Structure 1
């Protein structure tokens, strides 16, 4: 029975040795993985510091550019205000011209009958003048014809 105990103890010792070997390999592999992760984190930290420096420079440049743009926009604002004023003036001028045209059209419409009457009277006067010339020419022709008969 003591032999069985020794055998059992030997089997247990061998099992513990196997477990210790596998545990050692696992711990060694884990240690290597952790070392690689530490190196990777160290590289990432270095690169992130470089990137954050570049990002800070880019933000500074963007802020400078934004300030420059804001300054230029402030300088251009009066031009847009002036353009707006010109547009308002043009609108006022356009309305004035429209009102003047409407007034002229209304005056012409109101005087249209008078103009038509004036044209009609002038036509009548011209026709009367032509008739008078014709009568005078006829009288002179008759007078000449009468003188020729007497001669």
Structure 2
């Protein structure tokens, strides 16, 4: 065998080994692609189910929101009707405060007049009593 034939033989063996390794790698890649394909199919199936469930849930949520909006509008309308009541209660409170202030002023005035009258009345009684005692002495 000549050197060229030996080199060709080595190249052929190296090429055969390379082909074997490539076949092994391609088989593993093929299995991996198959597994990925299965996973993608399962994911798509799951997404379809989740999408259906989400659609149903969104429909229910929309219905609840519509009912909530209707109820809120009703409550707002009813609360609007109570505004005059609270205004009247506020006005009544102002009137009661004014009445309390007026009553307090009247009470203070009456108390002042009563004190003056009481003091004057006591002085008058003491004076009369003294005069009466004086007269009785003179009469004796």
Alignment of 1:10-29 (within 5 A): 10-29=9-28
Residue 79 of structure 1: CA displacement? 2.9
Is residue 103 of structure 1 aligned with residue 80 of structure 2? Answer: no
* Residue in structure 2 matched with residue 47 of structure 1 by the alignment: 46
1:106-148 CA-partner distances (Å, limit 9, x unpaired): 12223333333455677789x69xx8xxxxxxxxxxxxxxxxx
For 2:77 and 2:122, how far apart are their aligned partners in 1?
63
1:59-108 CA-partner distances (Å, limit 9, x unpaired): 11111100110101111112323444433322221111011110111122
Structure 2 gaps of 5+ residues are: 130-140
Alignment of 1:98-137 (within 5 A): 98-119=97-118
Structure 2 length as normaliser, TM-score? 0.78
* Residue in structure 2 matched with residue 73 of structure 1 by the alignment: 72
Counting matched residue pairs gives 131
For 2:72 and 2:55, how far apart are their aligned partners in 1?
25
Query: Which one has the largest radius of gyration?
Result: 1
Corresponding residue SS for 2:2 = helix
Corresponding residue SS for 2:8 = helix
Structure 1 length as normaliser, TM-score? 0.73
Is residue 93 of structure 1 aligned with residue 92 of structure 2? Answer: yes
Q: Please give the root-mean-square deviation of Cα atoms over the aligned residues, in Å.
A: 2.7
* Residue in structure 2 matched with residue 140 of structure 1 by the alignment: none
For 2:14 and 2:20, how far apart are their aligned partners in 1?
10
1:40-63 CA-partner distances (Å, limit 9, x unpaired): 101100110110110111111111
Corresponding residue SS for 1:15 = helix
Structure 1 gaps of 5+ residues are: 132-151
